[in-house]
Amino acid sequence: MSVTSRPSAIVTLAAIAGLQGLLFIGYAVFDVVEAVRVGITGPAEVSNPAALVGLIAITAGFGAGLLWVSWGWWRVRSWARSPFLVAQIVLGLIGYDFSQSGENTQRTIGQALIVVAVVGIVLAFLPSVRRVLDAEESTGN
């Protein structure tokens, strides 16, 4: 499908997933840099090398998955919808948790996560997106 024939909602979905993926990978890199720079800090239950490696692997894996989903949206692949929706639900739940914080910055980040997740979910079910994905499924691309 040519770029000009993609609905703007598909392009927006690809952008949302891509940006989220890059942010998660960036956060994983940030964790590595901080661990090297200042060491492993925090509560004893989670301040150990195994927990740090697990956090970095999960964060980077989630980011890589979102980049893959972004590529799927860009290529107008119907399979991109399910993992995208799961990611938006997870991010919405994380956003809800953040929005309950007493700290303004964390609360604002949480609210932004919720808004982006809801926008992504709504876009994924727009009639124009459904039509294009149904056409893609019927052609078997």
Helix (H) or strand (E) holding 127: helix 127-139
pTM over 0.75? The answer is yes
pLDDT tens for 39-49 read: 888 777 778 89
pLDDT tens for 86-101 read: 999 999 999 999 999 8
Per-residue pLDDT, averaged over 111-126, amounts to: 97
Query: How far apart, in whole angstroms, are the C-alpha atoms of residue 87 and residue 81?
Result: 10
So where are the chain's domains? 7-135
Query: Residue 71 pLDDT > 80, yes or no?
Result: yes
Q: Which alpha helices (H) appear in 39-80, and where do they start and end?
A: 49-74
Query: How far apart, in whole angstroms, are the C-alpha atoms of residue 55 and residue 57?
Result: 6
- Average pLDDT of the chain to the nearest whole number: 92
Q: Can you spell out the DSSP letters for 75-101?
A: TT-GGGHHHHHHHHHHHHHHHHHHHT-
